[in-house]
Structure 1
């Protein structure tokens, strides 16, 4: 019987599983014999190098034509999606050049955004929690949105895009939680602590979409700015049109530069990300709470599928300890929040 079994095994030897080491050696041998493995996919490799250069030198891409540089910087993290696409194409082409070249864009993307994507910098111990929310002038249920924001139990709440007909709805919904409030044009601020020195801030629009006040918090007095910079547009024949937004950013930056208080918090919809060079008059003076103490990118717009963080909480002279986005309301933006140490 043993002899019969041996003969049968020899006759059907091909049915026995091949050792993993043998398969690997055979695959390596096949690759060594494939003389085109390095020559194929050179175009894909060139695209990977170009992607790397765009991410490294994005600040050098000019804004003269359609504000292309600012448009790219607004969605800069999403360039990372091209990497897995290039990887799949490289594997399909069986191109070592295409696959290995992806080390470059991967390294640069991780250097730029790895800290946001893969680390949670939030901590505890903040003594002031702030929220900002563009409530959307066309919000179908402003009362419910106000209740959602109040449920955060933040100490200070800033709202932008307040429609005149809905202002009293927000006032009534928030007055039970916040003793103090001020409304300047289409922006407003609600606080559990006294306010003083309140005034509109001229951001060169002809009507009020920015304000400044001082919150007398238990941890110290802090100047709080609320701003809603003009919207930007992407037009087929004009590119990324943001001239009015950029002029307002210059004016807001000048106001913050002249702020006498050491502690400053800016809350609002800036219609731009921290990467957008056109917001440099503001971003050069303040740091992002999300960047300093957030978990992930914290995208806030559009609410249905957030792709960019254009709603900002920025600080000077205070320490962010945590930052996060809140659940969706009736607006097309997500509320964003942060806790800071004064």
Structure 2
């Protein structure tokens, strides 16, 4: 029985993409995939207690599978230096101290600062508090980018209706105003040429009694964002934001096929960012192409329920 459990765990780690996504099961497994490693010491203790050589040998499969997936994060890949530092943070619509959050983020020294889940009232606070450190900024709905470098060609990207094209912010559905944009695309002027930056906050996921792990809104947004990135002509591209999912989740395969995760390339440890009180998953992402990740890390907590994430890039 112990050997069978060990083999099953190993196969789940190796073949997680084959788990059915009916009821969001596959997405749920992949969101917390690193935590499956906790079953290894439990099975190891049981095998030693039973003095089962068969179970010990069977445990080699999940150990090897887990290390192949996550061993690189434990080894660390950070390097000193970098030409551009970026920070992304879901600041939380219910943040009781947006001014303090803004000051904390500005103290990071980032060249680009991407914020998500801003309310109209808090947005004005962020504008005021970040003005001195960041002379350039753009806001679309609930997301924004503050920059030390000039910005141009800012537009909203519709990740709410599955449309990758520009969102007409005054568009109405029937008699109801359209929801505020939750993604934008802007060009950052650097001394090495234009850098296209997307800031996104994809739809929430819910654990529902009847529907299971509900991811429909998030998944539609991921498809729209992937389509926008696929059509992006710029060589250098960054996607910053709260994806409400980890890069292990199959819905992001199209995005991660085009962009590298800064943390997976140059981070140390798992970099879990949510929930801030006890981080269990990295759902806040910094993805890029055309630039080299040098280091990636998680910043100290703010009053938000997410931790800010940061990365340094070299040209």
2:252 aligned with 1:279, yes or no?
yes
How many pairs were matched up?
Answer: 298
* 1:162 partner SS: coil
Cα distance in 2, alignment partners of residues 240 and 284 from structure 1: 25
Query: Which residue in the other structure is 1:256 paired with?
Result: 229
Could you report, residue by residue, the CA deviation over 1:278-307 in whole angstroms, capped at 9, with x for unpaired residues? Answer: 122322211100011111111110111111
Correspondence for 1:163 among 105, 110, 119: 119
* 1:327 partner SS: coil
Cα distance in 2, alignment partners of residues 282 and 112 from structure 1: 18
The structure with the largest helix share of the pair is: 1
Query: Which residue in the other structure is 2:136 paired with?
Result: 180
2:27 aligned with 1:54, yes or no?
no
Q: What pairs up with 1:285-296 in 2 under 5 angstroms? A: 285-296=258-269
CA shift for structure 1 position 143: 0.8
Cα distance in 2, alignment partners of residues 265 and 341 from structure 1: 13
Q: What pairs up with 1:119-268 in 2 under 5 angstroms? A: 119-205=75-161, 206-207=178-179, 208-268=181-241
Structure 2 runs not aligned, ≥5 long: 162-177
CA shift for structure 1 position 318: 1.1
Could you report, residue by residue, the CA deviation over 1:218-258 in whole angstroms, capped at 9, with x for unpaired residues? Answer: 33320010000001111232211001111111111111111
* 2:23 partner SS: coil
CA shift for structure 1 position 203: 1.4
Correspondence for 2:273 among 285, 300, 303: 300
CA shift for structure 1 position 94: 2.7
Could you report, residue by residue, the CA deviation over 1:188-217 in whole angstroms, capped at 9, with x for unpaired residues? Answer: 000001001111111134430000001112
Query: Which residue in the other structure is 1:104 paired with?
Result: 61
Cα distance in 2, alignment partners of residues 339 and 215 from structure 1: 16
* 1:69 partner SS: helix
Based on CA coordinates, which of the two structures has the bigger radius of gyration?
Answer: 1
CA shift for structure 1 position 315: 0.3
Could you report, residue by residue, the CA deviation over 1:150-186 in whole angstroms, capped at 9, with x for unpaired residues? Answer: 0001000000000112111111111110000111000
* 1:267 partner SS: strand
CA shift for structure 1 position 67: 1.4
Deviation beyond 4 Å, 4+ runs, structure 1:
none
CA shift for structure 1 position 93: 2.3
User: Retained in 1: the 8 A contact 2:160–2:182?
Assistant: no
User: Retained in 2: the 8 A contact 1:223–1:261?
Assistant: yes
Query: Which residue in the other structure is 1:4 paired with?
Result: none
CA shift for structure 1 position 324: 0.6
User: Retained in 1: the 8 A contact 2:137–2:145?
Assistant: yes
Cα distance in 2, alignment partners of residues 279 and 229 from structure 1: 12
Compute the TM-score of the two structures, normalised by the length of structure 2: 0.92
Compute the TM-score of the two structures, normalised by the length of structure 1: 0.85
What is the CA RMSD across the aligned residues, in angstroms? 1.1
CA shift for structure 1 position 276: 0.3
Cα distance in 2, alignment partners of residues 324 and 333 from structure 1: 14
